[in-house]
């Protein structure tokens, strides 16, 4: 599919104590799972990170254009470097994401400028489909210090899809994002079953 997978790997990882995307889960860096799921679906993959260690994954790595602006700045950088209209943005700490879900959400996005999944009334801001058209909005938000991603998405009238109702193959594990060593141990155990 003509789409870019934008992996956001610029977080501070303060609760993990080391760069989350590089932490091993069952012997493989967490970001590797995300790359593999995206590879099945999208035409391009890029990583947004200021850490040169990500170069080993053999996909382009871009530093934030405007530093220290969190996910809003990361998405702006990703959209800036993307060459496709459709973009699937995802954080590096969601190793259970599936190719099937990525494909489904990209197809579901239609003409919406931003499409986000919701599960149990929680909107997952760090997994979503972004149209290249919102590049200027993210640039402006970054410059004006409007850095709360949920508010930026809301201001752009994003489309919200209730995953439990709409997605037939739903498994809540796909949304597991891992912030601590304990969560890592727990998901390693779950993923082996």
* CATH code of 96's domain: 3.90.550.10
| Model pLDDT, residue 192 | 64
* 67 vs 116: CA distance, rounded Å: 25
Per cent of the chain over pLDDT 70 is 95
Domain count, the chain: 1
- 81: containing domain: 4-191
Q: Is the pLDDT of residue 16 over 80?
A: no
CA distances from 12 to 70, 75, 114, 192 (A): 9, 16, 25, 28
pTM: 0.94
Q: Give the CA radius of gyration of the chain.
A: 15
The listed range with the strongest mean pLDDT (6-15, 16-25, 137-146) is 137-146
Taking only the tens place, the pLDDT of each residue in 78-119 is 999 999 999 999 999 999 999 999 999 999 998 899 999 999
Strand, coil or helix: 51: coil
């Amino acid at each position: 599919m003509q789409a870019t997978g934008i992996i956001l790997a610029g977080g501070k990882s303060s609760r993990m104590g080391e760069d989350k995307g590089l932490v091993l889960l069952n012997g493989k860096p967490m970001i590797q799972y995300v790359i593999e799921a995206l590879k099945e679906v999208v035409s391009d993959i890029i990583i947004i990170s200021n850490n040169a260690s990500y170069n080993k994954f053999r996909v382009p790595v871009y530093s934030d254009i405007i530093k220290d602006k969190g996910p809003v700045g990361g998405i702006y950088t990703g959209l800036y470097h993307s060459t496709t209209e459709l973009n699937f943005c995802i954080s590096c700490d969601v190793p259970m994401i599936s190719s099937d879900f990525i494909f489904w959400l990209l197809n579901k996005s239609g003409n919406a400028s931003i499409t986000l999944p919701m599960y149990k009334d929680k909107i997952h801001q760090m997994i979503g489909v972004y149209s290249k058209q919102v590049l200027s909005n993210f640039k402006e938000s970054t410059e004006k210090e409007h850095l709360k991603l949920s508010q930026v998405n809301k201001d752009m009238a994003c489309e919200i899809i209730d995953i439990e109702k709409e997605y037939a193959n739903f498994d809540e594990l796909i949304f597991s994002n891992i912030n601590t060593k304990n969560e890592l141990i727990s998901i390693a155990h779950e993923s082996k079953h």
